[in-house]
Amino acid sequence: MDFESISIIFKALSDVNRLKIVSLLSEGEKCACVLLDNFQFKQSTLSYHMKFLAESKIIYARSEGKWMYYSLNKDNLNVIIDTLKSFNKE
């Protein structure tokens, strides 16, 4: 992964609501309706944040019936972790 892609992920994670969403998804796949219960905003705002996270390749999105389900893209998050670790060379 190049630095441009990594910077896009950092930008996505710089929002407190998106960071909280990632934290919730670290527990496993969740329906949008479950995620929404953890916030004080409307479905449209959640959709905005989920689209941002999906376009940043931080999460996966899938539809099942009328519901959207989201999960973490752990491979990309591990790349970010490894990149940060590489900056801490002795």
The CATH number of the domain holding residue 71 is: 1.10.10.10
- Residue 37 belongs to what domain range? 3-86
Residues of the chain scoring pLDDT < 70: 90
| Number of independent structural domains in the chain | 1
Q: What's the predicted TM-score (pTM) here?
A: 0.87
53-78 pLDDT per residue, tens: 999 999 999 999 999 999 999 998 89
Contact 68, 29 (CB under 8 A): no
Burial of 5 (0-12, 13-18, 19+ CB in 10 A): middle
